[in-house]
Amino acid sequence: MWTTHRAAKLGGIMKNFRRIVILCVLIFVCKNLFAQSSISEPSQEPIVPYRLFRTTNYWTFIELNTITGQMWQIQFDVEDDNRGSTVLNSKDLAKGKERIPGRFTLYPTSNMYTFILVDQIEGSTWQVQ
C-alpha cells in the first residue's frame, strides 16, 4: 500500500512537471510571435536635413527638419482620404545660429503624446505635444 501511494505521488509530480514545461514552451512561442510582429525602426542617418520619427499612434509620424527644428505631424491612411500633414512648429529655432543638419532631434517620453525636442549643439529643449 505504501508503494501505491508513492507511485501516485510520483505520478502527480510528473503531471505538474509536464504542465510547467508546456507553459514554458507556450510563453516562449508567444513571446517570439509578438517580437516578430513588431515593426522594426528603419535606420536613419542622424546628420540629414529631414527625419521621420515614429509615434505610438499607428497612423502618425513626426517629420523634423533637423537644421531648423521645424516639425510636422504626418498622417497616413490606407482606405480613406485622411492623409496629410499638420504644422507642429513653424518657427525656425536655429535663426541666427549655426545651421547644420542634425542640430535638432526628438526623444520620445513615456507619455505617448509628448516628445522632447533637443538642440544638440546648445542643449536647449522644448516639449512637443
Report the pLDDT value the prediction gives residue 37, as an integer from 0 to 100: 45
Q: What is the pTM of this model?
A: 0.66
- For the segment 18-62, what is each residue's pLDDT rounded down to a tens digit? 777 666 566 665 555 554 445 566 677 888 999 999 998 888 999
Report the pLDDT value the prediction gives residue 81, as an integer from 0 to 100: 80
The half-sphere exposure of 108 on its side-chain side, counting CA atoms within 13 A, is 12
> What are the structural domain ranges in the chain?
1-38, 50-128
- For the segment 57-113, what is each residue's pLDDT rounded down to a tens digit? 888 999 999 999 999 999 988 887 878 999 999 999 999 999 999 999 999 999 988
